[in-house]
Every structure is written in structure tokens, then in C-alpha cells.
Homo-oligomer: A and B are copies of this chain.
Amino acid sequence: MQEKDKNKLEEKFKPILENSSHVSWKPRTMLYPLPAVMISCGENEDDYNIITVSWVGTICSNPPMCYISIRPERHSYEIIKRTKEFVINLSNEDLAEATDWCGVKSGKDFNKFKEMKLTHQKGKMVDAPIIMESPLCIECKVKEIISLGSHDMFIAEVVNIQANAQYIDKESGIFDFQKANLITNSHGRYYKLGEEIGKFGWSLKKK
């Protein structure tokens, strides 16, 4: 990076450093913002369920692998442990209310698809259902379950993606993440994405 750009960074960071000190806190979960998703599971209509999880992520690019972490007392836990399958359904503005509701209520008490007026369709590579209203559904097969404490981590391979055609750019064939209006979960609050700051590699292109 050029000296003048470095000097600009130094100037920017100076007041940040001067006005701040760090305070140590006991360990807690503070990593945000996170993807807002609904996990669908079950092998037939009778036991289809939806659980909203915060602990979800990608763990490998090739093969594509994801994880979710769930408390053993949750209704979906036994279903996913038995069927070894789940679907990660990305959430957007239209689905925000359902995403919240499915995180608060239990599948022991409600048929969440019916309550939230969501539509299920059997996955292509898994028996677990996708949520048709979701812009993008990630079908996963569980490879390993690791007990960590309050949560068990389900390590899974992505076996298929179902993308809603209305968000696929007709010319490029690329999924338009911006058009999909994905939302994010930051410490229990749901947000729309705001202004774009830059695209991967933009820091190199600055003059």
C-alpha cells in the first residue's frame, strides 16, 4: 500500500485509539452479525419442522460443508439426529416474522409450516423439506455430531442447492444476493443490509 494511503489510515485510526481502551469480560457469545436462517427437517409431512438457529455457518469450501449447533432439548434435535438431514433456508425481509416466530415457538406445540403459512417441498437430494418461500435453500447431510456443552454441532455436507429462479440473473445465471433482500441477525435483532462499502479486493483498487 502506498505511503499516502497508509498515512490516511493512520489519521483515521488515531482518534479511535485515543478515545478508547478495552475492557476484559468473561467469555460469552459476541460474534455478530450472523445469517438469518430457518432450518427445516423431517422425513415426512407428519414430522416436518422448522427451527430458527443462530449458530450456523460454512466450514469448508471444497467439499462445501456447513454446520448448525442445536440444544439437545429442542424438538428438531431428535429429528435431525435420526434422519441425518436438514435444509438451511436463507431468510429475507418477507420471512423475517416467520423466522422470529419459529425461533420462539416449539414444534412440540405447533405445526410451524401451517402456522406460518409456509409451503414445504421435499428436497431433491434429501427427504427433508425446503421452504418454498425462501430465496435459497441449502440441502445438507449430517456427517458427524459433536457434543460441545449446551449445544451439539451437526457437521454436514452440502448435497444440493435450490435457488429461487426469480433471483437468478437471466443473463449471467448468477444468484442475485442483493435482489434476494437477505437479512442478518445481530445479537437478537434482525436488520436489512444497508449501504455497500466495497467488493472483495476493492482496497487494492483505490488510488
CA distance A179 to B195 in the complex (A): 16
Q: Are A30 and B175 in contact (CB under 8 A)?
A: yes
Contacts of A172 on B, CB cut-off 8 Å? none
User: Could you mark each residue 57-74 of chain A with 1 if its beta carbon is under 8 Å from any beta carbon of chain B, else 0?
Assistant: 111111111110100000
Q: Are A196 and B200 in contact (CB under 8 A)?
A: no
A4 to chain B, nearest CB (A): 12
Q: Are B35 and A31 in contact (CB under 8 A)?
A: yes
- Nearest 9 pairs between A and B by C-beta? A194-B194, A57-B57, A188-B200, A192-B194, A60-B148, A62-B150, A22-B162, A27-B158, A101-B203
Q: Does A160 contact B (CB under 8 A)?
A: yes
User: Could you mark each residue 173-199 of chain A with 1 if its beta carbon is under 8 Å from any beta carbon of chain B, else 0?
Assistant: 001010000111011111111111111
Residue of B nearest to A153 (CB): B59
A184 to chain B, nearest CB (A): 5
Q: Are B31 and A58 in contact (CB under 8 A)?
A: yes
Contacts of A204 on B, CB cut-off 8 Å? 101, 104
Q: Are A193 and B190 in contact (CB under 8 A)?
A: no
Q: Are A148 and B59 in contact (CB under 8 A)?
A: yes
Q: Does A98 contact B (CB under 8 A)?
A: yes
Which chain A residues numbered 55 to 95 have a C-beta less than 8 Å away from chain B?
Answer: 55-67, 69, 88, 90, 93-94
Contacts of A151 on B, CB cut-off 8 Å? 59-61
Known: A26-B161, A31-B37. 20 other contacts (CB 8 A): A1-B101, A6-B117, A20-B166, A23-B164, A25-B160, A27-B158, A27-B161, A31-B88, A33-B182, A57-B57, A59-B69, A59-B151, A62-B149, A63-B148, A65-B149, A67-B67, A97-B198, A100-B200, A191-B194, A191-B196
